[in-house]
Amino acid sequence: MDVEIIGFVAALLTTSAFVPQVVKVWKSKSSKGVSVSMYLVLLLGVFLWGVYGYLIDSMSIMIANTVTGLLQLMILILILMNKNKD
């Protein structure tokens, strides 16, 4: 079995975990209770994981962290857009 398959399954599971948060903030137009600092630190970590994936030439790590980073950016943008509404 190719080791990258395990990476892709793990990537799918961990990345998809952010989708419900994006949907909730998007639909409710409220980010009350969402920690900006947590998402900023996590975004930095995801960026570094992406760099690591590039350096070791792991497609699963690069794809997962790119998608996760985009989801986290969406949440941060929604927080900023809804800042005055909360």
Specify the pLDDT at position 1: 61
The domain segmentation of the chain, as residue ranges, is: 3-81
Specify the pLDDT at position 44: 94
pLDDT tens figures, 25-80: 888 888 888 888 888 999 999 999 999 999 999 998 999 999 999 999 998 998 88
The hierarchical CATH code for the domain 3-81 is: 1.20.1280.290
Specify the pLDDT at position 82: 80
The pTM for the full model equals 0.76
Say if residue 81's pLDDT is above 90. Answer: no
Specify the pLDDT at position 86: 58
Note whether 4 and 59 are within 8 A (CB).
yes
Q: What is the spatial distance between Cα 29 and Cα 82, in angstroms, rounded to a whole number?
A: 6
Is 11 strand, coil or helix? helix
Q: What is the spatial distance between Cα 10 and Cα 56, in angstroms, rounded to a whole number?
A: 17
Using alpha carbons, select from 73, 69, 77 the residue that is nearest to residue 50. Answer: 69
